[in-house]
Structures are given as C-alpha cells and as structure tokens.
C-alpha cells in the first residue's frame, strides 16, 4: 500500500507547465493593491514591477530609467507613480546616502476600508449641440 506522501509526490510530479509565459516567471500582486481605486493604474503597475525586481534576489538595484522603459512610460511619469505609492504608504523611499540610488521598501499595509477616488463629474444637463452651433 502506498503512503499518502508518495501518492502526493506522484501527483505533483505530473504537473507540467507547457505555457512559456508561466515558465518565464510572473509577479503576484496583492488584492489590496489591485482593488485600491485611489491608486492610478500606473501606480499599481509600478508596484508590480517593484515586486518583480525585488523578488529576483530579495532586493534590486534598478535605475528609474530602466524601470520606466520596461513599463513603457517616461521617467517623470514613473516618479509620479512612485510618489503616489509613497504617499499612500505602500512603499517608503530611503535616500540615506545621497551618492547612491533610492532604496524602496515595500511596507506592510494592513487591510483598510478603501475610499473611492473622486471622478470628475460631467454636466449632463447641457443642451445638445445643434448643427448651427458647431459651425460657428
């Protein structure tokens, strides 16, 4: 009779990844970050990239220009996303020694009741544009 451990081992050994995307690696993004509508999509993606870089070896030393290129945004946009993450206390930025790069610390943020970000309100009562008004 086979032991339970042997049965489990045989089943685990049968799991085969034929998906090249999964073999290349992936990042797990916490639901808290995914569902936080106070964060822009760019800030959420930046958080995922910070996790990806940090999980490679426990820490990383990636330049902002390299990360911005990988995400597909300008360096200035990346900086805005990083400050957004800092201001919402998802990360901390440490610059102890001015000669070196920033150190980004992923903070432990407990579940909070998320407030919805205010969306711009559009005036729905505006009169429709007539043909004459468009060509003036």
Q: Mind listing the domains of the chain with CATH numbers?
A: 4-125 (1.10.10.10)
Report how far residue 90's alpha carbon sits from residue 122's, in angstroms, rounded to the nearest whole number: 31
23-27, 32-36, 75-79, 93-97: which range is least confident on average? 23-27
Contact predicate 34/41, CB 8 Å: no
- Provide the whole-model pTM: 0.64
Three-class secondary structure of residue 121 per DSSP = coil
How would residue 103 be classed by pLDDT, with cut points 50, 70 and 90? confident
The tens digit of pLDDT for each residue in 35-75 reads 999 999 999 999 999 988 887 665 666 788 999 999 999 99
Q: Write out the H or E segment, with its range, that includes residue 104.
A: strand 103-106
The tens digit of pLDDT for each residue in 16-33 reads 667 777 777 777 889 999
Give which of 66, 133, 57 is closest to 101, Cα–Cα: 66
């Amino acid at each position: 009779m086979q032991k339970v451990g042997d049965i489990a081992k045989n089943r685990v050994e049968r799991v085969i990844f034929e998906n090249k995307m999964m073999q290349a690696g992936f990042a797990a993004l916490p639901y808290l970050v995914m569902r936080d509508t106070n964060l822009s999509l760019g800030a959420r993606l930046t958080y995922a990239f910070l996790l990806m870089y940090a999980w490679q070896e426990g820490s990383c030393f990636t330049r902002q220009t390299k990360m911005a290129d990988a995400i597909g945004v300008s360096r200035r946009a990346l900086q805005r996303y990083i400050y957004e993450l800092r201001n919402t206390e998802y990360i901390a930025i440490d610059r102890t020694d001015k000669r070196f790069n920033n150190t980004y610390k992923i903070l432990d943020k407990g579940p909070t009741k998320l407030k919805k970000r205010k969306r711009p309100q559009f005036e729905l009562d505006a009169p429709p544009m007539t043909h004459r008004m468009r060509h003036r």
